[in-house]
Chains A and B, each alone.
Chain A
């Protein structure tokens, strides 16, 4: 019988600490599978952030270094500038990339750093217990928006992918979700493309992933998948937001 599905070789045999229904484990699987398929494990350096995925290095069997909160893009810049042969990816949450690390992110993209950003958008601060994130939806209840996010008081959900699409140094930006087998396949293709942009020595690439957080959303895993479709994608529509990879000359 032909084996069609197996544990990725580069996913360490540690039990995930993530909650049931969390998107991180799916995304970890996609990335490790791709690194193996694209034969990058010898030169990949991953930069996980503080947050639930701070322990990503327990699962990725590649070189990894933890970044300070929000500084992933700056750390990745330093790595890539000092060692251009590396394939560098940051793994960042919405608080990390769209709040405390906004400046690092926009400027790394603007310099056209040859790095790949994996941006996990779950509309809350997960590890700290479900506070409002920059991407929290209007009226969404979190522990710091107990009456729902009032846009007049707490501002609007920040659309980092759209903002970054205006930055010239970014060559590829796509928003995907990991809430159905079909969407997971699309996410895989997007992440593959974002790594390929770096292999081709193009410039900044980012994949935003709408990812379920059933624990902090106080939903079942199934409800959280449905909530992404019904609510999140209204504010954060899926699809390619920018792709100039074909126009780019590798230099």
Chain B
């Protein structure tokens, strides 16, 4: 298919439909409304598909829970305050080992915050977010093309590991327009997941539940979840490297911040500064090994985020003291310019005596 010009939010919708998403349940919130509207227009009247504008974020995620119970691909989307409301449902999805795709086009917080792009939901996304001991896979795209590609991957991962997958974008990615190519045609019909509830026809009845009055049984459920998480860490960790071959200073940034960092790195490179970028694409699982390998070549890391410093903790945990970590961040929905980040990088480069 040829490339088309689309907003990030629209591209997620188109990619989801092509990934075989049959149900979308959402609630209006800026800056992700274009996605809800895209699904209303393109999914809502499609045969075998359903679009519901739910009465609340809580209802929307529970509708996803219902659709996932019966084995079809379902998604919801929202932005930061709405994602907070969905956490109860995400915890239940994780506990029931049900696949689902949840898009967070995050905005400034805390509270109602702002509608401008922000990355301040990193902790919430990567630590589970709701109550209980669980993880979700978190994918962090940094372009409209990647929003489309990772939407498709999100559905595949959710089904493969029976886990909710969070697509963590931001208001800027969602609303900007870029060329995008959709690499998949919508499947004719996806097979229904084998453990789905479809009525006890020709088989014993099934139960999908989370509650148990026996702590030992619940402990085993938790162990089993974490065995799967271990497998996901091993198999699915992904990241991009940029100009790292000879880098003396490594910038770590994700999502739209990584786009800004790339611009800054290109500029400092023209001045002869050996700086490269590691961009985690999966925020959970976090590319710990990628960071550790880099620490064998250089000790200097700077983490750049559009928040007060969240992913920086994961970088430090990965390094376990094997490198020095600096941080630069802007919270509240402020979007730093490439020249601002350029100044930060080159100042640090000289301070560290790298040139």
Q: What's the tally of chain A residues with a CB closer than 8 Å to chain B? A: 36
Q: B75: shortest Cβ distance to chain A, in Å?
A: 11
B23 contacts A71, C-beta separation under 8 Å = no
Given that A61-B200, A62-B205, A68-B62 are contacting pairs, would A78 and B55 also be in contact in the complex, using a CB cutoff of 8 Å? no
Considering the complex, which residues of chain B in the window 254-284 have a beta carbon less than 8 Å from any beta carbon of chain A?
none
In the bound complex, CA of A185 to CA of B206 (Å): 29
Given that A78-B67, A104-B59 are contacting pairs, would A65 and B201 also be in contact in the complex, using a CB cutoff of 8 Å? no
Cβ of A227 under 8 Å from chain B = no
Per-residue CB contact flags for chain B residues 67-90 toward chain A (1 = under 8 Å, else 0) read 111111010000000000000110
With a CB–CB cut-off of 8 A, which chain A residues contact B62?
A: 67-68, 71, 74-75, 78, 104
Q: Which residue of B lies closest to A47 (CB)?
A: B66
Question: Among B60, B64, B67, B205, which residue has the most Cβ atoms of chain A within 10 A?
Answer: B205
In the bound complex, CA of A86 to CA of B69 (Å): 12
Question: Among A61, A65, A82, A104, which residue has the most Cβ atoms of chain B within 10 A?
Answer: A82
Q: B23: shortest Cβ distance to chain A, in Å?
A: 5
With a CB–CB cut-off of 8 A, which chain A residues contact B201?
A: 42-43
Cβ of B54 under 8 Å from chain A = yes
B89 contacts A45, C-beta separation under 8 Å = no
Cβ of B209 under 8 Å from chain A = yes
Question: Among B25, B59, B67, B68, which residue has the most Cβ atoms of chain A within 10 A?
Answer: B59
Cβ of A28 under 8 Å from chain B = no
Cβ of A33 under 8 Å from chain B = no
In the bound complex, CA of A109 to CA of B286 (Å): 43
In the bound complex, CA of A50 to CA of B213 (Å): 12
In the bound complex, CA of A91 to CA of B5 (Å): 48
Cβ of A77 under 8 Å from chain B = yes
Question: Among A61, A64, A71, A106, which residue has the most Cβ atoms of chain B within 10 A?
Answer: A71
Cβ of A219 under 8 Å from chain B = no
B205: which of A63, A74, A104 is its contact (CB, 8 Å)?
A63
Considering the complex, which residues of chain A in the window 83-117 have a beta carbon less than 8 Å from any beta carbon of chain B?
83, 85-87, 103-104, 106-107, 111
Cβ of B211 under 8 Å from chain A = yes
Q: A75: shortest Cβ distance to chain B, in Å?
A: 4
Cβ of B114 under 8 Å from chain A = no
Given that A63-B200, A83-B198 are contacting pairs, would A68 and B207 also be in contact in the complex, using a CB cutoff of 8 Å? no
In the bound complex, CA of A61 to CA of B199 (Å): 10
In the bound complex, CA of A74 to CA of B54 (Å): 9
Given that A45-B199, A79-B69 are contacting pairs, would A66 and B208 also be in contact in the complex, using a CB cutoff of 8 Å? yes
A77 contacts B52, C-beta separation under 8 Å = yes
B67: which of A62, A82, A104, A111 is its contact (CB, 8 Å)?
A82
A74 contacts B66, C-beta separation under 8 Å = yes
With a CB–CB cut-off of 8 A, which chain B residues contact A68?
A: 62, 65, 88-89, 92
Q: A58: shortest Cβ distance to chain B, in Å?
A: 9
In the bound complex, CA of A104 to CA of B205 (Å): 27
Given that A71-B58, A78-B25 are contacting pairs, would A65 and B50 also be in contact in the complex, using a CB cutoff of 8 Å? no
With a CB–CB cut-off of 8 A, which chain B residues contact A76?
A: 66
Q: Which residue of A lies closest to B25 (CB)?
A: A78
Other A-B contacts than A45-B197, A63-B206, 6 sampled, CB-CB below 8 A, are A75-B69, A77-B66, A78-B65, A78-B70, A79-B197, A104-B55
23 examples of A-B residue contacts, CB within 8 angstroms: A41-B199, A54-B211, A63-B199, A63-B200, A63-B205, A63-B206, A65-B197, A65-B208, A66-B208, A66-B209, A67-B65, A68-B88, A71-B58, A71-B59, A74-B59, A75-B63, A75-B66, A78-B23, A78-B25, A79-B70, A82-B23, A103-B58, A104-B55
A residues bordering B, Cβ < 8 Å? Answer: 41-45, 50, 54, 57, 60-68, 71, 74-83, 85-87, 103-104, 106-107, 111
B residues bordering A, Cβ < 8 Å? Answer: 22-23, 25, 50, 52, 54-56, 58-60, 62-72, 74, 88-89, 92, 96, 197-202, 205-211
